[in-house]
């Protein structure tokens, strides 16, 4: 009983976390791309 509500809570927190993580990964990839372009020049 407690475990299922715990899993539901994780699912509830997981969606915004996933969105935040994908945003962070996009930012990191962009920064790495910019740094790599600068280093190539």
pTM of full prediction above 0.75 = no
Q: How far apart are CA 6 and CA 2, in angstroms?
A: 6
With H, G, I as helix, E, B as strand and everything else as coil, classify residue 23: helix
Q: What is the pLDDT of residues 18-39, one digit of tens each?
A: 999 999 999 999 999 999 998 8
* Residue 41 clears pLDDT 90, i.e. is over it: no
pLDDT of residue 1: 61
Summarize the confidence of residues 9-18 as an average pLDDT.
88
pLDDT interval class at 40 (50, 70, 90): confident
Separation of alpha carbons 2 and 32, rounded Å: 43
């Amino acid at each position: 009983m407690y475990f299922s509500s715990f899993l539901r809570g994780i699912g509830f927190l997981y969606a915004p976390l996933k969105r935040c993580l994908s945003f962070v990964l996009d930012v990191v990839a962009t920064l790495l791309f910019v740094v790599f372009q600068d280093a190539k020049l």
